[in-house]
C-alpha cells in the first residue's frame, strides 16, 4: 500500500527550511528517500532502518519513527539545487517496496 506524503508541493526561498513527511499504514522495515529532478532518474538520498534513527546528508536529514510508521525529511538552509520531487519509499517486513506519490519542492532565488 502506497505511503502518504505531505505536503504535495512546497515553494521556498533560498535559505529557508522545509519538512516533508511520509507515513504508512503498514509496519515498516525501512524508509528510503529519493530526489528526482525533472527528466532525470530518482537519486538515492538515504535509508533509515531503525525506529528513532536519524541520518544526515549535507543539510538534508531524516528521521524515522517506527512506532508511528512515519518518516520526515528535513531540508535546512535550502539551496537552488534542492529543487525537485522528493519521494519516500517504504519497505515492509514482507520486502514489499513502494514509492510515495512525491512532494514537489521549488526553491526560488
Partner 1 sequence: EPEVTQTPSHQVTQMGQEVILRCVPISNHLYFYWYRQILGQKVEFLVSFYNNEISEKSEIFDDQFSVERPDGSNFTLKIRSTKLEDSAMYFCASTEVGNSDDGYTFGSGTRLTVV
Residues lying near partner 1 in the complex (CB under 8 A) are found at 2, 29-30, 32, 34, 36, 40-47, 49, 87, 89, 91, 95-102
Minimum CB–partner distance for residue 89 and partner 1 (Å):
8
**For partner 1, the closer CB: 19 or 98:** 98
CA 74 to chain centre: 8
Q: Which residues of 19-29 are buried (b: 16+ CB within 10 A; e: fewer)?
A: ebbbbbeeebb
When the beta carbons of 69 and 89 are compared against partner 1, the nearer one is: 89
Shortest distance, CB of residue 14 to partner 1, whole angstroms? Answer: 25
- CA 29 – CA 109 distance, rounded (Å): 38
Q: Minimal distance in Å, beta carbon 29 to partner 1?
A: 7
Amino acid at each position: 500500500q502506497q505511503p502518504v506524503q505531505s505536503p504535495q508541493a512546497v515553494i521556498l526561498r533560498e535559505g529557508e527550511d522545509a519538512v516533508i513527511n511520509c507515513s504508512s499504514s503498514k509496519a515498516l522495515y525501512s524508509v528510503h528517500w529519493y530526489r528526482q529532478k525533472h527528466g532525470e532518474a530518482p537519486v538515492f538520498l538515504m535509508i533509515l532502518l531503525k525506529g528513532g534513527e536519524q541520518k544526515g546528508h549535507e543539510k538534508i536529514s531524516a528521521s524515522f519513527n517506527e512506532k508511528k510508521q512515519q518518516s520526515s525529511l528535513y531540508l535546512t538552509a535550502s539551496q537552488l539545487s534542492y529543487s525537485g520531487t522528493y519521494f519516500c519509499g517504504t519497505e515492509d517486513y514482507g520486502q514489499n517496496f513502494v514509492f510515495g506519490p512525491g512532494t514537489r519542492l521549488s526553491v526560488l532565488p
